[in-house]
Structure 1
């Protein structure tokens, strides 16, 4: 495992939370889009959401 200097960790720690929030938001938006696609049945939408 790589060591990160404390000063670097203090700089990047707040960015980590923002990046995680953005990533999770994008994933949830994509799942919602896939889940609302009425051209596919529920099984097809489920498969699309995990791929």
Structure 2
């Protein structure tokens, strides 16, 4: 009985890790696109100044 519960616990932890990793990847993707847009904006601004 105890081994069964540990297996379930491991499965739950595994699922949470997968969800967390996918969430982090999504956040990183959004963050990188945001940085790219920001970088483009700054380069355009600098070009305008020059």
Length-normalised TM-score, structure 1: 0.58
Q: Runs of 4 or more off by more than 4 Å in structure 1?
A: none
Q: Could you say which structure has the greater relative contact order, defined with CA pairs below 8 angstroms and 6 or more residues apart?
A: 1
Residue 29 of structure 2 corresponds to which residue in structure 1?
21
Greater percentage in helix: 2
**TM-score scaled to structure 2, two decimals?**
0.59
- In structure 1, the gaps of 5 or more residues are 42-51
- Aligned residues, how many? 36
RMSD across aligned positions (CA)? 1.4
Report Cα offsets for 1:6-49 as digits up to 9, x if no partner. Answer: 3421221111111010000000000000111102x3xxxxxxxx
Higher alpha-carbon Rg:
2
